[in-house]
Amino acid sequence: MNNSRALIILILFTAAFIFIGSRLFTVQIIKHDYYVKLARSQQQGKKIVKAQRGIIKDRDGSVLAYSKDDITFSVDTRMTDEAERRMIASKFASVFNGDSSKYFSLMNAKRGNVCLAKKVSLIDALLLEGYNPDCLIRDEELSRIYPYGRLASHLLGFTNYEVKGVAGIERNCDEELSGKNGEIYFEYNGKGEIIGVNEDISVKPLNGAIVELTIDKTYQTILEEELYAGIAAQQAESGVGIIMNPQTGEILAMANYPTYDPNNLKNSDNDSRRNRAVSDTYEPGSTMKPIIMSALLDKNLVREDEVINTENGVYRIKNTPIKDAHPYRKLTVREIIEHSSNIGISKLSDRLSGKELYKHLRDFGFGQITSVDLPSEAPGFLKKPSQYSALSKAYISFGYEISVSPLQMAAAYSALINGGILYKPYAVKQIVGAEGNLIKKNVPLKIRRVIKQSTSETIKSFMQGVIENGTAQKARLTCVMAGGKTGTTQQLIGGAYSGKKFNSSFVGFFPVENPTTLILIYIHSPKKKYYGGDVCAPVFKNIAERLIEADIKIVPQKCRIKRDDKFVNQIVKNIKQNEELNDEFLTLNVPDPSDEKKETEPVEDARTSIPNLLEKTKREAIAVVSNLGVNFKVFGTGNVVSQSIKAGEPIEKGRLLILRCKPANKLKGLRIN
């Protein structure tokens, strides 16, 4: 009898064995990973230890951006009892001059981490040094400081709330600057107390690298001060300044207006944060002429002393007039640059095939990004030969139908004056890791030879003539020979060229013999004057003279010159003579101090005499004339084709001015050098 009952018991044992065994198998083998994860989640806590963001320095080691550590204090209320919370509340109240009951109710509100003091500076946090109850958690937070505020703010860029670079160098070198966050793994016991750190799997943070720029803080300061002064004087809307080493492509300074303070981003808009020097483009105007001229010289298509008929100020291509601001009968090739003759360069540009012109400009870097180590670069616009109209070559030759960024122009001019080699512009000198290891070192990068050495020398002397004899005499420096070229364009607004809004620019360099410094000034919408020679050349001169004063190396002793008073007086005398002299004077080939020609100032003239209204749009003409206080009548639509009172005649009250207009190609409005 007992055997059958024993069997039942045996079956029961077997069932229990299988039941428990299979359950163990499920828990320990099949769901092992699940339980491991669950167990680890309660046994281990991970805390990210933020790496400190790297420093940005200028070329001499001045710190332009650094990170500041803040500490945020929070309390894990699960680890506290009421008495302890009270103690913590009174401690915080005494340290931070707060209300003890406020802290106390904060801690009572939630089980878990409660933040008591946010972003306490390191100095304030010292007051809590040594106060270390188990439940108190210190969280270091990083914020970005730009000690010089607005200085080079567009170039440096800024970081977002996560301290991640979103503009400028901060963005481009974000990976290097960020470093690597560390991780600390805590072990918790059954009560939720931290009992230690697991060193085996914890990783120390690697702080961000030090980025050393090619920027010179002194240069940058001078550039910004003078650029802003120039913009303020002209009540202009915006402007860009670049200082570059033409021998290497290093950007020594880069300034923009409007500007902003990266320490206080809230008070600025996107427009003021944009680095116009790389991301905005403009039609360069006459600054394009030396580049076209270099192609002609390089291909032996012109002789330096060749005389070109400049048609006394108006020249028609396919019935479209090309005009010079100051009419000349004839000019030598050199004078075409010096006096910035649209007609001259237009005629010469016809000697280049469309393909040659395109290739030449392409070689100089137009129409493509320079690959500078700054974000948001604009490639500009370069017309392909297949798209050329009959006028394209002429217009391109004096800087229309092409758009360039200021940085492209600075790089192209560097090639023009450094012997003919295009360098890639760059703003980062080197990047050094937090442990002193060199991560990256930038050296001047030759992209290509664009013109011959001899061509470069000739163009330099032409551009020296621009300052000594031509349109940019306001850029003349007292102690060194400089070269440069002015540029003025009407802005293309709504498909038509405006007669009121201009882009003025000047690119200059010194010393002429062996240029160490290239300065580009671009001012958008100046209101007082508009010629590059009036608006930008004086800014160049101010910057250059201050640079020479600040940095003795910039002009070697052998390049220094001395202009005596006699020489200056001679110039003044010549200017007076020139005004009376006839055209023959202008055909002289050899530059001579007596060649000085003062640029006229039409805006001032306009107040006392009738301005030239030809080729202005009807709208512009009305705007100009109505300000003069003259009675006038306008017939037709389009551009002004005739005016009843000739330009330059004095304004007489009561006399009627009749303007006739005809519809015209928008390009017919072009009339400025």
Partner 1 sequence: MKISHKIQDRFDLAIFIPVVFLIIIGLAAIYSSTINHPVAGGNFQRQLFWVFFSFTAMIIVYFLPSQTFRLLSAPIYVFSILLLIAVLVFGKSVYGARSWLSFGGVGFQPSEFAKIGLIFFLSYWFNQKNRNINNLKDVGVGLLIGLFPVMLILLEPDMGTAIIFIVITLALIFWNGISLFGLFIVIAPGFTFFASMLGVYYFYAALLLIIAVLFLFKRDLFLSAAIFGMNLATGFILKYALPLLQPHQQKRIESFVNPMADPLGAGYNALQARLAVGSGGLFGKGFMQGNQTQLRFIPEQWTDFIFCVIGEEFGFIGSILIIVLFTFLFLRLIKISSNLQNRFSSSLLVGIVTLLFTHFVINIGMNVGLMPVIGVPLPFLSYGGSSLLMIMMLIGVALNISKNKR
Q: What is the DSSP letter of 103?
A: H
**For partner 1, the closer CB: 20 or 445:** 20
| Stretch of 186-194, 261-269, 273-281, 373-381 lying at the interface with partner 1 (CB under 8 A) | 186-194
Amino acid (1-letter code) at residue 320: T
Q: By C-beta, is 6 or 658 nearer to partner 1?
A: 6
The binder of partner 1 chosen from 66, 96, 188, 585 (CB under 8 A): 188
- Regarding 3 and contact with partner 1 (CB under 8 A), the answer is yes
Contact with partner 1 (CB under 8 A) among 10, 87, 145, 658? 10
Based on CB atoms, which residue is closest to partner 1, 32 or 355?
32
Select 41 or 587, whichever has its Cβ closest to partner 1: 41
Q: Does 11 bind partner 1 (CB under 8 A)?
A: no
Q: Is 195 in the site for partner 1 (CB under 8 A)?
A: yes
Two structure tokens written together for 333: 């090739």
What's the per-residue H, E or C state across 614-644? CCCEHHHHHHHHHHHCCEEEEECCCEEEEEC
Which CA distances in Å does 602 have to 82, 522, 531, 612? 83, 21, 10, 9
- Tell the smallest beta-carbon distance from residue 110 to partner 1 (Å): 16
Q: How far is the CB of 35 from partner 1 (least distance, A)?
A: 3
Catalytic residues: 286
The residue (of 193 and 356) whose beta carbon lies closer to partner 1 is 193
**Minimum CB–partner distance for residue 1 and partner 1 (Å):** 6
Q: Is 315 in a helix, a strand, or coil?
A: strand
**Contacting residue, 121, 181, 189, 577, with partner 1 by CB under 8 A:** 189
Strand 210-213 relative to strand 428-432: parallel, antiparallel, unpaired? antiparallel
Q: State in angstroms the smallest separation of the CB of 17 from partner 1.
A: 5
Q: Rule CB under 8 A: is residue 42 a binding residue for partner 1?
A: yes
Query: What is the C-alpha to C-alpha distance for residues 215 and 507, in angstroms, rounded to an integer?
Result: 19
Tokens for 32, please give them.
């092992």
Residues 6+ apart with CB under 8 A from 360: 291, 292, 294, 295, 352, 450
Of residues 21-40, which lie at the interface with partner 1 (CB under 8 A)? 21, 23-25, 27-29, 31-32, 34-36, 38-40
> Is residue 201 a contact residue for partner 1 (CB under 8 A)?
no
> Nearest approach, Cβ of 112 to partner 1 (angstroms)?
13
Applying CB under 8 A, among 60, 82, 187, 305 the residue interacting with partner 1 is 187
Q: CA angle at residue 241 from 236 to 246, to 5 degrees?
A: 150
Q: How far is the CB of 190 from partner 1 (least distance, A)?
A: 4
- Closest distance to partner 1 from the beta carbon of 113 (Å): 17
Strands 517-524 vs 238-244: parallel, antiparallel or unpaired: antiparallel
Instruction: Please give the single-letter amino acid code of residue 242.
Output: I
SS3 220: helix
Start-to-end CA span in the chain (Å): 125
Q: Which is nearer to partner 1, 39 or 122 (CB)?
A: 39
Q: Is the dihedral of CA 121, 122, 124, 127 positive or negative?
A: positive
Residue 1 sits in the site that holds partner 1 (CB under 8 A):
yes
390 touches partner 1 by CB under 8 A: no
For β-strands 631-635 and 656-662, DSSP reports them as: parallel
Residue nearer to partner 1 on the CB measure, 1 or 83: 1
DSSP string, 387-431: G--TTHHHHHHTT-SEEB-HHHHHHHHHHHHTTSEEE--BSEEEE
Judged by CB under 8 A, the residue of 83, 112, 161, 190 near partner 1 is: 190
Residue placing its CB nearer to partner 1 in the complex, 26 or 309: 26
| Smallest gap from residue 7 Cβ to partner 1 (A) | 9
The span from the CA of 525 to the CA of 531, in Å, is 11
Check residue 493 for interaction with partner 1 (CB under 8 A): no
Of residues 234 through 263, those in contact with partner 1 by CB under 8 A are none
Binding mask 43-82 for partner 1 (x = CB under 8 A): x---------------------------------------
CA distances from 68 to 51, 73, 123, 176, 206 (A): 12, 16, 11, 17, 16
The answer to whether 351 and 300 are in contact (CB under 8 A) is no
14 versus 312: smaller Cβ distance to partner 1 = 14
Nearest distance from residue 6's CB to partner 1, in Å?
4
- Region of 188-196, 332-340, 380-388, 605-613 interacting with partner 1 (CB under 8 A): 188-196
Q: Is the dihedral of CA 402, 403, 408, 409 positive or negative?
A: positive
Q: Which stretch binds partner 1 (CB under 8 A): 182-190, 232-240, 387-395, 538-546?
A: 182-190
Which CB sits closer to partner 1, 188 or 585?
188
CB of 134 to partner 1, least distance (A): 16
Instruction: Note if the bond before 602 is cis, omega within 30 degrees.
Output: no
What residue spans of 63-197 are helical by DSSP H? 82-95, 100-109, 122-125, 153-156, 168-172, 174-178
Applying CB under 8 A, what is the total number of residues that bind partner 1?
A: 36
CA angle 615, 619, 621 (to 5 degrees): 50
Q: Which pair of tokens denotes residue 580? A: 């009376």
Nearer of residues 186 and 388 to partner 1, judged by Cβ: 186
Summarize the chain as % helix, strand, coil (round to 5).
40, 25, 35
CB of 117 to partner 1, least distance (A): 29
Amino acid letter, 501: K
User: Does residue 111 bind partner 1 (CB under 8 A)?
Assistant: no
- What is the binding site for partner 1 (CB under 8 A)? 1-3, 5-6, 9-10, 12-13, 16-17, 19-21, 23-25, 27-29, 31-32, 34-36, 38-40, 42-43, 187-191, 195
